[in-house]
Amino acid sequence: MPMRQVLAVDDERLGERMASAPDGAERSASLVAALEPVLAQADPERLRLAREVARIAEVAADQPEMVRVGDLAAYAGMSVRTLQRLFLEYAGVSPSWMLRRLRLIEAAERVARGQDVRWADVAAELGYSDQAHLSRDFTAAVGQAPSAYAAAQRPT
C-alpha cells in the first residue's frame, strides 16, 4: 500500500529515509518532518487531544507505580470512561492495554539489566494481583514464560 494512503503523506522517499536511518531518533525525525504539513492542517482541538493522550502516556511510562487506569484518569483530571474513549480514539489502544504493556516492558528490562528477579516481588511491585497473572500476560506478549525469558538473557 502506498505511504500516502496510510499516512496521508505524499513523500515517496520517506520509507527509504526511515529504513536507512542509523537509529530510532533519525527515523522519528524523518517521520515527524514528513507529517508536519499534515499536522498543520489538522483540527486544533483534535491535535490538542492527541497531544494530551501522548502526555498522559508519557507520565504512565515515567511513573511505574501508575498501574491502574483509575489512577491515571485521576492524574489526568478526567473520568475513566473519558480516558478510555480518548485513548481508543487517539492511540488506537485502551489505557489498560498500554499500562499492561508498560508493566511487561519494565519486567523484561529488569531481566535485561541483569537484576536477580523474584517474579512474585516483581508482580507485586508492578501492580499484578499475583505472580500467575504476570506470568500469563508475559507469556502471551513475549512468547515464553518469564523464567524462560530470564534464562535466555543470561550470558552463556
Is 102 inside a domain boundary? Answer: no
Can you give the pLDDT at residue 10? 58
Per this entry, what is the length of the chain?
156
Give the tens place of pLDDT for each residue, 100-131: 999 999 999 988 888 788 999 999 999 899 99
Please indicate, yes or no, whether the overall pTM of this predicted structure exceeds 0.75: no
Angle 59-60-65 (CA atoms, 0-180°, nearest 5)? Answer: 115
Give CA–CA dist 90/46, Å, rounded. 9
The answer to whether residues 80 and 112 belong to one domain is no
Q: φ, ψ for residue 66 (rounded to 5)?
A: -85, 90
Is 145 inside a domain boundary? Answer: yes
Give CA–CA dist 138/146, Å, rounded. 6
Number of domains in the chain: 3
Give CA–CA dist 107/104, Å, rounded. 5
The answer to whether residues 93 and 75 belong to one domain is yes
Contact 63, 72 (CB under 8 A): no
Among 53, 70, 97, the domain boundary falls at 97
Is 25 inside a domain boundary? Answer: yes
Q: φ, ψ for residue 22 (rounded to 5)?
A: -70, -20
For residue 147, give its domain range.
107-153
Give the tens place of pLDDT for each residue, 36-91: 777 777 788 988 898 899 999 999 998 888 889 999 999 999 999 999 999 999 89
Is 26 inside a domain boundary? Answer: yes
The answer to whether residues 129 and 112 belong to one domain is yes
Is 125 inside a domain boundary? Answer: yes
